[in-house]
């Protein structure tokens, strides 16, 4: 775990690099899909409860996480079949990260990075670009 400085545009650029972003999101998807059936169900997410909450987005309380699950399923289960497939998940993560980017804006914020989080990848992506 480390601390890094992150700006909104770093996140936006990461999302816009569809190849890098989708690859990273797919890894997250595979990690969350505990029964490996190619779809995320509520039980997949609950199995990985601690993990998913650490993935990012500063969701601190259980209520917030539960409410995020509800929002997540209602909003991103586009075809309403009760699970989130890979495409639905990519759309979800794009929206979340872009919302985060808008929230951060142009003022760099210090964030705590978990080794395999999307934000970590975004920071690495930004560093790779600037080198």
Binding residues for Ca ion, how many (CB under 5 A)? 7
37 binds Ca ion (CB under 5 A): yes
46 binds Ca ion (CB under 5 A): no
What is the separation of C-alpha 20 from the centre of its chain, rounded to a whole number of angstroms?
Answer: 13
35 binds Ca ion (CB under 5 A): yes
Check if the beta carbon of residue 3 is closer than 8 Å to that of residue 113.
yes
81 binds Ca ion (CB under 5 A): yes
Least Cβ distance, residue 97 to Ca ion (angstroms): 20
Element (H, E) at 2: strand 2-6
Q: Which two tokens stand for residue 14?
A: 């990461």
Q: Which is nearer to Ca ion, 30 or 35 (CB)?
A: 35
Check if the beta carbon of residue 119 is closer than 8 Å to that of residue 14.
no
56 binds Ca ion (CB under 5 A): no
**Per CB under 5 A, which region of 10-18, 42-50, 51-59, 66-74 contacts Ca ion?**
42-50
Touching Ca ion, residues 87-126 (CB under 5 A) = none
Query: What phi and psi values does residue 4 have, to the nearest 5 degrees?
Result: -140, 165
Rounded to whole angstroms, the Cα distance separating 86 from 23 reads: 11
Site for Ca ion, rule CB under 5 A = 33, 35, 37, 44, 77, 79, 81
């Amino acid at each position: 775990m480390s601390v890094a400085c992150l700006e909104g545009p770093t996140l936006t650029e990461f999302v816009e690099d569809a190849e890098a972003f989708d690859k990273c999101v797919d890894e997250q998807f595979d990690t969350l899909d505990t029964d490996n059936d190619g779809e995320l169900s509520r039980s997949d997410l609950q199995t990985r409860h601690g993990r998913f909450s650490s993935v990012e987005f500063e969701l601190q309380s259980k209520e917030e996480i539960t409410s995020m699950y509800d929002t997540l399923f209602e909003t991103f289960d586009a075809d309403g079949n009760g699970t989130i497939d890979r495409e639905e998940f990519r759309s979800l993560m794009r929206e979340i990260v872009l919302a985060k980017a808008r929230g951060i804006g142009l003022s760099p914020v210090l964030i705590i990075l978990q080794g395999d989080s999307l934000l970590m990848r975004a920071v690495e992506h930004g560093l790779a670009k600037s080198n």
